[in-house]
Amino acid sequence: MQLTRYTDYGLRTLMYLALNSERESLFRISEITEVFDLSANHISKVVHHLGKLGYLQTVRGKSGGFKLAKPASEINIGQVVRSLENSLAPIDCTKPYCLFTPACKLKGVLGEAVNAYLAVLDGYTLEMIVANKPELKALLPDLSISILQ
C-alpha cells in the first residue's frame, strides 16, 4: 500500500516539529518547504488540515506560525494516516466494473491486509518514529546558512 503525497507531507511535517520540540518559536510554512523542498501551497493545505484535526496549534497573522498541539508521545501514526488519507480502500471493483465482484474474495483479503498495515502503524507514536533524533537532525539542512545568503 502506498500513501498519498499529502499524507507523506503531513508525516514529514509532524516529524520535523517533533525533532525540534524544544524550540519555543513557532514554525512557518516557508521553513518546512525549504527543508523538504516542497510546494508552499501543498504544505499550507497540510498544515491547515493538521490544525483542524488537532495535531497542530496554529496562530494566524504576521508573527504567526504553528507547533505541535500535543506531545509527540500522544500522536499515533495510525490515526494520523487514517485522518489524512482520503481512502484506504485497497481496490475499487466498480471502475471499471469487475465481473468477479459478486463472488470475489480478493477484496476481502486486501481489506484484511490494509487492517494489518494499520494495526502496525497503530503501534507507533510520533515520539517513537523520531527516537533517533541525533541521526535525523544530522540529515537536515542548516537553515541559518541559507537565511544568511
Residue 53: pLDDT over 70 = yes
Instruction: For 56, list phi and psi in degrees, rounded to 5.
Output: -120, 145
pLDDT per position as a tens digit, 86-142: 889 888 999 899 999 999 999 999 999 999 999 999 999 999 999 999 999 999 998
The confidence band for 147, taking pLDDT boundaries of 50, 70 and 90, is: very low
Which domains, and CATH codes, for the chain?
A: 5-148 (1.10.10.10)
Instruction: Enter the pTM of the model.
Output: 0.90
Q: Give me the DSSP letters along 87-116.
A: ---S--TBTTBPTTGGG--HHHHHHHHHHH
DSSP one-letter code for 125: B
* pLDDT mean over 48-64: 96
Q: How far apart are CA 36 and CA 136, in angstroms?
A: 13
The confidence band for 149, taking pLDDT boundaries of 50, 70 and 90, is: very low
**Residue 68: per-residue pLDDT:** 98
Whether the CB-CB separation of 10 and 50 falls below 8 Å is answered with yes
**Residue 142: per-residue pLDDT:** 83
The residue with cell 495535531 is 55
